[in-house]
């Protein structure tokens, strides 16, 4: 038998009351119980279009288990040729997530750490323009779709070639209140469209309900920051992820950790508010990890932290998502 325990030094969000300040405190990441580490498989037939505590789990796992998620593209596999235009809404919804996954022992006030072990892309995905939509809606006067092959990690866009950059668009847990569409982001995670959520990243998420209710999907083979047409390289995929439980973390917002960076997140109807949310989280992270005053952390942030747009399809009409990124060479 193997003790399901994996400990690392993590810094996770913990909001202080109802104000916007929060701290990052070192917590031991420990899977609870004694069990054999298992690998599970969830087919893309087990999809949801909302992260909601009322949904029955598609799978129950122990902390430390690995799950292979088969994911659909943003239109649930319905776009198969250049003739398939996005001139009508999907009959159920967009951006499906595979799940939900019930993590045994997860309770409100805990946190999940989801390690994206690998992302295997399908042979082709699609790009599209929707008439009158996107950042350049005023110039998008027709619908268009292009099926785009991905061969050996290279995207084939007509005669042009560029490297694929697989990332997970939707990852989140079930909110304690009303369910949230997988088209939107929030404190629970959701449709963050953050390209740092790729292979090897560790995504820290809040647990608001028993079992957490984890869902994952909306993989992109490549996506430029902004996702200006509303459509990245939408593609079916197989995502392998290891799910760990952080007891008592009091995680309130997503935090992304890579080998090279810390990435805090923000979202909102207003770009300024969303950028401020990500920056607010980052300055607290820097204070905690470096032992700096707010003023010193704020000055250092202005010199060494990138505040970036993740998704800005139609500002003012559709919520935007943002991030703040700092190198772990500066902030270990």
Consecutive H or E run containing 42: strand 39-42
Between 262 and 19, where is the model more confident? 262
Say what the pLDDT of residue 24 is: 33
Between 19 and 94, where is the model more confident? 94
Chain position carrying tokens 């932290």: 305
At 5-33, the pLDDT tens digits run 332 333 333 332 333 333 333 333 433 44
Say what the pLDDT of residue 25 is: 32
At 133-157, the pLDDT tens digits run 999 999 999 999 999 999 999 999 9
Say what the pLDDT of residue 35 is: 53
Say what the pLDDT of residue 57 is: 98
The percent of residues above 70 in pLDDT, for the chain, comes to 89
Assign 93 a pLDDT band (cuts: 50, 70, 90): confident
Percent helix, strand and coil across the chain, each to the nearest 5:
10, 40, 50
CA atoms within 13 Å, Cβ hemisphere of 189: 33
**Do 203 and 116 meet the contact criterion of CB atoms below 8 Å apart?**
yes
Strand order in the sheet with 154-157: 124-129, 144-151, 154-157, 160-163
Domains, in order of start, for the chain: 9-327 (2.60.120.580)
Chain position carrying tokens 């779709």: 145
- State pTM to two decimals: 0.89
At 212-258, the pLDDT tens digits run 999 999 999 999 999 999 999 999 999 999 999 999 999 999 999 99
Assign 90 a pLDDT band (cuts: 50, 70, 90): confident
At 62-87, the pLDDT tens digits run 999 999 999 999 999 999 999 999 99
Say what the pLDDT of residue 130 is: 97
The Cα angle at residue 308 between residues 306 and 311, in degrees rounded to 5: 165
Say what the pLDDT of residue 29 is: 40
Q: What is the mean pLDDT of residues 294-299?
A: 98
Pairing outcome for strands 22-28 and 154-157: unpaired
Q: Is the pLDDT of residue 112 over 50?
A: yes
CA dihedral angle for residue 105, residue 106, residue 109, residue 112, rounded to 10 degrees: 130
Report helix, strand or coil for 190.
strand
Q: What is the mean pLDDT of residues 80-95?
A: 93
Mean of per-residue pLDDT scores for the chain: 90
Q: Is the pLDDT of residue 211 over 90?
A: yes
At 271-287, the pLDDT tens digits run 999 999 999 999 999 99
């Amino acid at each position: 038998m193997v003790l399901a325990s994996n400990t690392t030094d993590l810094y996770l969000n913990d909001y202080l009351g109802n104000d916007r300040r929060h701290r990052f405190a070192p917590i031991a990441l420990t899977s609870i119980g004694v069990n054999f580490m298992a690998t599970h498989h969830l087919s893309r037939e087990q999809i949801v279009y909302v992260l909601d505590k009322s949904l029955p789990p598609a799978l129950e796992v122990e902390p430390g288990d690995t799950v292979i998620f088969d994911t659909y593209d943003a239109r649930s596999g319905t776009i198969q040729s250049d003739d398939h235009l996005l001139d009508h809404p999907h009959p159920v919804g967009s951006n499906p997530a595979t799940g939900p996954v019930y993590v045994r022992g997860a309770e409100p006030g805990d946190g999940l750490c989801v390690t994206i072990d690998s992302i295997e892309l399908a042979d082709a995905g699609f790009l599209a323009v929707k008439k009158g939509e996107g950042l350049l809606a005023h110039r998008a006067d027709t619908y268009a779709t292009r099926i785009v092959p991905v061969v050996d990690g290279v995207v084939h866009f007509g005669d042009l070639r560029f490297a694929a950059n697989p990332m997970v668009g939707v990852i989140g847990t079930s909110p304690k209140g009303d369910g949230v569409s997988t088209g939107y982001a929030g404190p629970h995670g959701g449709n963050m469209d953050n390209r740092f959520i790729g292979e090897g990243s560790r995504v820290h998420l809040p647990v608001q309900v028993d079992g957490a209710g984890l869902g994952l999907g909306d993989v992109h083979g490549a996506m430029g920051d902004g996702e200006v047409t509303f459509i990245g390289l939408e593609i079916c995929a197989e995502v392998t992820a290891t799910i760990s439980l952080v007891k008592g973390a009091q995680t309130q917002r997503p935090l992304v950790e890579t080998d090279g960076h810390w990435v805090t997140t923000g979202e909102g109807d207003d770009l300024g508010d969303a950028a401020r949310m990500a920056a607010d989280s980052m300055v607290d992270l820097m204070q905690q990890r470096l032992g700096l005053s707010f003023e010193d952390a704020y000055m250092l942030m202005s010199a060494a932290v990138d505040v970036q747009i993740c998704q800005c399809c139609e500002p003012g009409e559709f919520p935007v998502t943002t991030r703040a990124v700092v190198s772990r060479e500066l902030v270990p």
